[in-house]
Amino acid sequence: MMLVVSAFVLWAGLWALNIILARRLSEQHARIAVPVIFGLTLVLVVELMVRGLNVSFVILPKPSEMVVRLFTSYEMLWEDFAQTILKGALTGYIVGCGAALMVAFLASWSDFLRRGLLPLGNFVAALPVVGLAPIMVMWFGFGWESKAAIVVSMCFFPMLVNCVQGLAATNAIERDLFKTYAASPVQQLGLLRLPAAMPFVLNGLKVCTPLALIGAIVAEFFGSPSVGMGFRIKTSVGSLSLDLVWAEIIVAAIAGTGFFGLLLIIERSLTFWHPSQRR
Amino acid sequence: MVQWLARSVLPVMTIIAAIVLIWYAAAVPMNAGRTYMMAPDDAEIALPDLVSDTWAQKKPRLPVPHQIVVEVRKQATFSWIWKEKRRGYKRSLIYHTWVTLSSTIFGFVLGLVLGVSLSLAIVYSRVMDLSVMPWVITSQTIPIIAIAPMIIVIMAAGGMTGLMPKGVISMYLSYFPIVVGMTKGLRSSEPILEDQMKTWSATAFQTFWLLRLPSAMPFLFPAMKIGLAAALVGAVVAELPSGARAGLGARLLVFSYRSETIPMWANLVSAALLAGILVVSFGLLERAVNRRLGFRNAGDVTS
């Protein structure tokens, strides 16, 4: 009981600390310190609650046990990471988003193609494409190729819709201005249409990041070699070694967040002019 | 009318026709292996025979569209609804689509409420922005499929089974695009307009209601469409590890174990139709709202 009470006290205390820090610290420091403290609070509260309420290991292991597992079996975790994320998800992400960008360029030159692709792309982006995972495993085998294939098919249409919308995001006044400057089509593309499309393109890239992770891991549930994060999660749930499952989840979280953070940095440097980026 | 057909319907139809043609063409090399396997060793197979065989196999690698349409029509039965004791519903695609639809809608509504309230908190509270936003992003990098069995176990320990855990899994996927889109939208009003509101001494609520919320709409609707799609993905994925008997995802798993490809595609098509109906109805709503607020719609004639 003491542990549960102290969890609540800790929560209140650290939240108050965060409010003070958010006011006092400079922008740069607060941006790092505040979320870190918030995350630590969550972890500590969960740890204290699990201990205090005697939650069974089968339902939720203690966060400390997960971290211990992360360090004791890091070699296995690294192999799974390389198989699922570096080979499966990243390959598929690059191919899928790159192909979508190219098709969007084609569509931006042909009004007919744009009118055909945008409704269709919107439609397909809304489909549960992840259902194709068992079919991709049938076609491309158990290796990472089938995972990359499902990631390509999941990322392509959300990215396409964003890129097509982005390349059409200029308005008549801006285009007229470029015409009065006698800008060539290439100049108009490079100086007006591409920069105007960037917020949409980066939005698409951000939306595709979790899709790529989900696709690569789900596909492993339908068949994989004896390595990979989805495989490890499936077999570890079966043998009730839930600390290993959570260690895999932590690895996936770190990888995904790192990539997303990279996208945020790129977004800030490319679309600094957009109202949503103002400080 | 004629102009509308030429501008909107014709391009879409052209691309669909191209896809169907490529599909039929691709089915020939994809399924040819099986045709040769079934034929006697050094038999010569003429092209017309090869084509007709690859388009009519029982378990093809790639079923052709008309096989899938026939399968959907065979499985999409309504008669169990008014039959006594509701017999035969387990084989009906309509029933399984309904099961998936109900958890999709439930999860989407949960996700919409959570997403919009989180983005309001993020836009209006600096502490929330700093502490929650990075973790919202992190939450999406945790593959839902991994924690889905655990969500089901934990919620079952609390006495909740069936719709509730599936709804929570859908919510987990659908709230993220809504938070991202809505936050971006709420921050997208031009500074000059905010200054204008200030010169009119508008209250914070008036600035929100008359400026920020309307200017967030063009961001919110695409986000909601993605969120709806994500909720459907969540509903399908949630049925994979939960041992569910009903729903499109559960059926997909069963058919994939038996490698019955035609029913698999029939299930995918009904999931697609479901998603299509949901998205088209949201698209109509989006056009109506955007027009009322004076924004340009994507399909409108631009000068």
Q: Residue A157 belongs to a domain with what CATH number? A: 1.10.3720.10
Over 90: is that where the pLDDT of B112 sits?
A: yes
Q: Does A30 contact B at CB distance below 8 Å?
A: yes
B157 or A144: which carries more pLDDT confidence? A144
Q: A259 contacts in B (CB within 8 Å)?
A: 141
Mean pLDDT score, B153-169: 79
* DSSP letter assigned to residue B162: T
Give domain status of residue A62, yes or no: no
Residue-wise pLDDT for B34-81, tens only, equals 777 777 766 677 778 788 888 888 888 888 888 888 888 888 777 666
**CA–CA distances in Å: residue A172 to residues A165, A175, A195, B123, B192:** 15, 5, 16, 31, 21
Domain end marker among A16, A32, A55: A55
For B279, which of A115, A122, A255 is closest by C-beta distance? A122
Q: Does A275 contact B at CB distance below 8 Å?
A: yes
Would the CB atoms of A207 and B8 count as touching at under 8 Å? no
Q: B253 contacts in A (CB within 8 Å)?
A: 134
Same domain, A31 and A82: no
Q: At what angle do helices B163-186 and B126-141 cross, to 10 degrees?
A: 130
Q: What residue of B is the nearest CA neighbor of A260?
A: B137
pLDDT in the model for residue B143: 67
* DSSP letter assigned to residue B209: I
For B131, which of A18, A127, A276 is closest by C-beta distance? A18
pLDDT in the model for residue B302: 40
Q: What residue of B is the nearest CA neighbor of A162?
A: B222
Same domain, A245 and A151: yes
Task: Give buried/exposed letters for A120-142 (b at 16+ CB in 10 A, else e).
Answer: bbbbbbbbbbbbbbbbbbbebeb
Mean pLDDT of chain B: 82
| Closest to B167 in 3D by CA, of B226, B245, B113 | B113
Which of A120, A135, A137 is the best mutation test for B, with the most CBs of B within 10 A? A135
* CB count in 10 Å sphere of residue B163: 14
Same domain, A189 and A218: yes
Would the CB atoms of A128 and B135 count as touching at under 8 Å? no
CA A47 and chain centroid, separation? 27
Complex prediction ipTM:
0.73
For A222, which of B191, B228, B256 is closest by C-beta distance? B256
The percent of residues in chain B predicted with pLDDT above 90, rounded, is: 9
Which residues have C-beta within 8 Å of that of residue B139, sequence separation ≥ 6?
Answer: B172, B176
| Closest to A246 in 3D by CA, of A258, A255, A238, A237 | A237
Q: Does A222 contact B at CB distance below 8 Å?
A: yes
Residue-wise pLDDT for A240-265, tens only, equals 888 888 888 888 888 888 888 899 89
Please report which confidence band the pLDDT of residue B82 belongs to, taking 50, 70 and 90 as the band edges.
low
CA distance B84 to chain A (A): 33
Is residue A65 packed enough to be buried (19+ CB in 10 Å), middle (13-18) or exposed (0-12)?
Answer: middle
Give domain status of residue A175, yes or no: yes
Please report which confidence band the pLDDT of residue B301 belongs to, taking 50, 70 and 90 as the band edges.
very low
Same domain, A43 and A74: no
Mean pLDDT score, B265-290: 86
DSSP SS3 for B159 = coil
CA B250 and chain centroid, separation? 16
In angstroms, the CA A61 to CA A56 distance is 7
DSSP SS3 for B178 = helix
Q: B248 contacts in A (CB within 8 Å)?
A: 128, 131
In angstroms, the CA B189 to CA B194 distance is 7
Residues of chain A with pLDDT under 70: 278-279
Would you say A80 and A232 are in contact if contact means Cβ atoms under 8 Å apart? yes
Where is average pLDDT lowest: A109-113, B166-170, B269-273, B282-286? A109-113
For chain A, positions 90-129, list CB contacts with chain B under 8 A: 112-120, 122-123, 125-129
CA distance A173 to chain B (A): 10
Q: What does the radius of gyration of chain B's CA atoms come to, in whole angstroms?
A: 24
Which of B13, B30, B137, B267 is the best mutation test for A, with the most CBs of A within 10 A? B137
Q: What residue of A is the nearest CA neighbor of B14?
A: A116
Q: What residue of A is the nearest CA neighbor of B269?
A: A127
Long-range contacts of A39-47 (CB under 8 A, 24+ apart): A39/B134, A39/B135, A40/A14, A41/A10, A41/A11, A41/A14, A41/A15, A42/B135, A44/A7, A44/A10, A45/A7, A45/A10, A45/A11
Same domain, A217 and A259: yes
CA distance A21 to chain B (A): 9
Give domain status of residue A36, yes or no: yes
CA distance A2 to chain B (A): 23
In angstroms, the CA B20 to CA B102 distance is 31
Same domain, A13 and A120: no
pLDDT in the model for residue B303: 34
Give domain status of residue A212, yes or no: yes
Over 60: is that where the pLDDT of B298 sits?
A: no
Q: Which amino acid is at A240?
A: L
The percent of residues in chain B predicted with pLDDT above 70, rounded, is: 89
Same domain, A22 and A123: no
Count chain A–chain B contacts defined by CB atoms under 8 A: 197
Q: Does A140 contact B at CB distance below 8 Å?
A: no
Q: A37 contacts in B (CB within 8 Å)?
A: 131
Q: What residue of A is the nearest CA neighbor of B238?
A: A218
CA distance A214 to chain B (A): 5
Same domain, A47 and A143: no
pLDDT in the model for residue B87: 60
For A206, which of B127, B180, B256 is closest by C-beta distance? B180
Would the CB atoms of A213 and B141 count as touching at under 8 Å? yes
| Closest to A87 in 3D by CA, of A229, A203, A265 | A229
Residue for token digits 């204290």?
A: A48
Would you say A277 and A202 are in contact if contact means Cβ atoms under 8 Å apart? no
Give domain status of residue A164, yes or no: yes
Q: What residue of A is the nearest CA neighbor of B144?
A: A214
A5 or B153: which carries more pLDDT confidence? A5
Same domain, A113 and A8: no
Same domain, A133 and A269: yes
Give domain status of residue A173, yes or no: yes
Structure tokens at A208: 């595709």
Would the CB atoms of B135 and A42 count as touching at under 8 Å? yes
Same domain, A88 and A193: yes
In angstroms, the CA B57 to CA B36 distance is 12
Give domain status of residue A136, yes or no: yes
Give domain status of residue A172, yes or no: yes
* DSSP letter assigned to residue B86: G
Residue-wise pLDDT for A165-175, tens only, equals 888 888 888 88
* B239: phi then psi, degrees, rounded to nearest 5: -80, -15
Query: Which residue range is the domain that position A7 belongs to?
Result: 2-55
Would the CB atoms of B131 and A34 count as touching at under 8 Å? yes
Q: Does A233 contact B at CB distance below 8 Å?
A: yes
Domain total of chain A: 2
Would you say B124 and A234 are in contact if contact means Cβ atoms under 8 Å apart? no
Structure tokens at B159: 């006495």
For B137, which of A120, A135, A257 is closest by C-beta distance? A257
Same domain, A46 and A93: no
Q: In what helix (H) or strand (E) does residue B118 lie, and over which residues does it extend?
A: helix B93-124
